[in-house]
Amino acid sequence: MIPLATYALRLGDDALVLTQRLSEWSSRAPELEEDVALTNIGLDLLGQARVLLSYAGELEGEGRTEDDLAYLRDEREFTNVQLVEQPNGDFGVTIARQLLFSVYQLLVYGDLRASSDPTLAAVAGKAVKEVAYHVDHAEQWTRRLGDGTEESHDRMQAGIDAMWPFVAELFESDDLVAELAAAGVAVDPASVQAEWDRRVDAVLADATLTRPTPTWRARGGRSGVHSEHMGFLLAEMQHLHRSHPGATW
């Protein structure tokens, strides 16, 4: 794949895998209203993933469609960060994951609007409005749970603690991104880290939560190294398409 295709695929894989996780809340969220909210967020991400995967396939020029890329790649070919594949856990874990990822995605898409690649700029321009809402949703809940009852505080803190080892990977750069960023095409994730820290720290402080100091950190998602949960996620996501190739509604 050419570098731009790989970059589009990374952005698309992040969105696609988180969509799959959020869809697992369908019919199981703590409240009907929250069920709709989480799956709406998932649908926004699915829309982003579809455009980005299609674009990656188009750039690759080997005739792979969005479906081929979503359903027929194996675990080692997925380039999402490990944060988005982490299991939903309880509502606190899900909200923690949403907060950490959505703020990151908002900042990346925000800068990507100025990309010299018109397709990426257009995707970012549309997505940034959607993700602003995802951030708001996660911030609202983080504040309420963190600064709520003793139990909600403990669960929210546990969620933040569980997801924090996956944060460092978000801001990792490599030669591919560095070159694309220097050419004005991509956003170097390291460049948004200070703003991410400021924004997330402010929410944590408001929510009476403590910023964790993790003893380990995840790495490798961008090069296809995933946590043990990824295989199960893909099995569920890809099963139908692989059992019935070409099936349509």
List contacts with another protein (CB under 8 A).
30-34, 36-37, 40, 136-137, 140, 144
CA distance 189 to 212: 21
- Minimum CB separation from another protein for residue 107, in Å? 22
The least distance separating another protein from the CB of residue 133, rounded to whole angstroms, comes to 8
Instruction: Give the C-alpha distances (Å, rounded to integers) separating 217 from 9, 77, 192, 212, 246.
Output: 23, 21, 19, 12, 39
> How far is Cα 247 from Cα 249, in angstroms, rounded to an integer?
7
Least distance from another protein to the Cβ atom of residue 36, Å = 5
Least Å distance, CB 209 to another protein, is 19
Q: Which is nearer to another protein, 32 or 247 (CB)?
A: 32
Neighbours of 110 (CB within 10 A): 18
Tokens found for residue 208: 């009476």
- Compare residues 43 and 72 and give the one whose CB is closer to another protein: 43
Q: Are 241 and 20 in contact (CB under 8 A)?
A: no
Amino acid at 218: A
Minimum distance from CB of 83 to another protein (Å)? Answer: 24
Q: Which alpha helices (H) appear in the chain, and where do they start and end?
A: 3-23, 32-60, 66-71, 91-112, 118-146, 150-163, 167-170, 175-182, 193-206, 230-243
User: Of 37 and 204, which CB lies nearer to another protein in the complex structure?
Assistant: 37
Of 40 and 193, nearer to another protein (C-beta) is: 40
Q: For residues 31 and 175, which CB has a smaller minimum distance to another protein in the complex?
A: 31
